[in-house]
Chains A and B, each alone.
Chain A
């Protein structure tokens, strides 16, 4: 009895510091957030909160700006998933060749990943406004039009993420048995055929991982959005994360902003569960 009691004291004292911060920062805000999303909460201290049912959620679905942000986020995600994976895979192919400079190149490609999205956005703001128009001689600034500005954001995200995704693909490529490639060479397959028929199918699991990583990453994207375009021109590049903040702090509509935040959670959770499910399934198959 005594030792058992002592064991529980140790259990709770070791857990307490983490549990306190975890509940204060994650669990309590998450639960009150769900409650707030069904109320007329307006973040005014001392003002009583009234339950208003699904009104905020109905407003979200009838809100033109929210729907627009959702579509913009989908478009941006489409661009960046494609670009990041194509560039990341190509870089992985490059640095797995027997090059004397392979390590140096890997170091270079990975570097932007360590720099925060805000700083990267500012670096590229300068590149897009001052450097590229001079280099291209067209004088066009990609950030001035919404369609090209979305693409510009995807380019910055690619610069940030391609090196990271590259490392995942490198691990997959290096795990391909050397004999497979040797055998296909003897059979007369050229480089492209080897990539298409041997490398592609064998790195497929890494592709699934990268796809979901880039998908949830681009849905949560905020920093590059804030620094590169700040939603301009005319809220035409405002992605979902920024839209939640505008709803709350600019339109002072905290309840609806929080309803959006809860829907955002549902969406991200579904994506992540699908990811876990698909990689588990693959593990069984292999």
Chain B
């Protein structure tokens, strides 16, 4: 018995060491964000000497962090709220209308999940371009795109979840004189809370971190998102590692805070999305 205990704590130490190595890239980024430009060049591995904070205001100014953070927040939050509302509405009528047409439309959404973004990106940018819809460099434009790209998976998840809600609940409400939109708003929507959390987490991680789509449609500085704003420090000739490290740390902070608060939901949501 004693032997077994020793054995377990040996694995425990190995585990902790692996964990430390696994997150070591973060230390290097964070430590170096407090160094001077010269300090990084002569001593990358050591602790900051001297320890300075100036890199942060500098980096924030150069990448226009406040603006980028605002843009990312507005785009992500608006897309998520509309996505949950519109997709659950669609999933509900597709499930509750027993007709061939609803089966066909649902299948269309499911099959479209096979289309990679790369296949539609060139015609999409063309369609939203200057001579057509004219929604390039617009937050509204990219929100419309996220609604379109996010709808298939969201409808699929809502549809699957709603199958488990008894119709009797809704029928009772109709008998009491509710209109369909009231039934949806007062009866169905409140029951969708758990799956809505999953839908928001899956789409939220994707939209917040997305790079390829914003890089194609948001070129002006005033509409840039957080990932786009970090590009400034990694151009071909930039050697300002001290500012780049501060910029990267800044972009990590909101994600880590979000992870700490919603960890359980995140791991569950992400895996339930994968298995389906």
| Chain B residues within an 8 Å CB radius of A32 | 123, 126-127
Q: Closest Cβ of chain B: how far from A42's Cβ, in Å?
A: 10
Q: Closest Cβ of chain A: how far from B247's Cβ, in Å?
A: 9
Contact, CB under 8 Å: A109 / B251: no
On chain B, the number of residues with a Cβ less than 8 Å from chain A's Cβ atoms is 90
Q: A15-B105, A107-B263 are in contact. Are A26 and B120 (CB under 8 A)?
A: yes
Which B79-138 residues have C-beta < 8 A from chain A? Answer: 82, 86-87, 89-90, 92-94, 97, 102, 105, 108-109, 112, 114-127, 129-131, 133
Contact, CB under 8 Å: B151 / A119: no
A91 to B23, alpha carbons, bound, how many Å? 14
Contact, CB under 8 Å: A116 / B114: no
Contact, CB under 8 Å: B266 / A117: no
B1-29 near A? 1/0 per residue, CB < 8 Å: 00000001001101110110011011011
| Chain A residues within an 8 Å CB radius of B45 | 131, 134-135
Question: Does A168 sit within 8 A of B, measured CB to CB?
Answer: yes
A29 to B130, alpha carbons, bound, how many Å? 16
- Our count of residue pairs bridging A and B at CB distance below 8 angstroms stands at 244
On chain A, the number of residues with a Cβ less than 8 Å from chain B's Cβ atoms is 85
Contact, CB under 8 Å: A11 / B19: no
Which A1-55 residues have C-beta < 8 A from chain B? Answer: 7, 10-11, 14-15, 17-19, 21-30, 32-33, 36, 43, 45-46
Question: Does B155 sit within 8 A of A, measured CB to CB?
Answer: yes
Question: Does B230 sit within 8 A of A, measured CB to CB?
Answer: yes
Q: A164-B270, A261-B122 are in contact. Are A22 and B152 (CB under 8 A)?
A: yes
Which B224-276 residues have C-beta < 8 A from chain A? Answer: 227, 230-231, 233-234, 241, 244-245, 248, 251-252, 255-256, 258-259, 263, 266-267, 270-271, 274-275
Contact, CB under 8 Å: A10 / B118: no
Contact, CB under 8 Å: A18 / B89: yes
User: Residue A11 contacts which of B102, B117, B129 (CB distance < 8 angstroms)?
Assistant: B102
Q: Which residue of A lies closest to B252 (CB)?
A: A115
Question: Does A86 sit within 8 A of B, measured CB to CB?
Answer: no
Contact, CB under 8 Å: A111 / B259: yes
Contact, CB under 8 Å: B131 / A159: no
Question: Does B161 sit within 8 A of A, measured CB to CB?
Answer: no
Interface residues of A (CB under 8 A from B): 7, 10-11, 14-15, 17-19, 21-30, 32-33, 36, 43, 45-46, 91, 94-95, 97-102, 104-111, 113-119, 122-127, 130-131, 134-135, 159, 164, 167-168, 171, 209, 213, 220, 222-223, 226-227, 240-241, 244, 248, 254, 257-258, 261-262, 264-265, 268-269, 272-273
10 closest A-B pairs by beta carbon, nearest first, are A25-B148, A116-B209, A45-B131, A29-B123, A29-B120, A21-B148, A265-B119, A21-B147, A29-B124, A118-B211
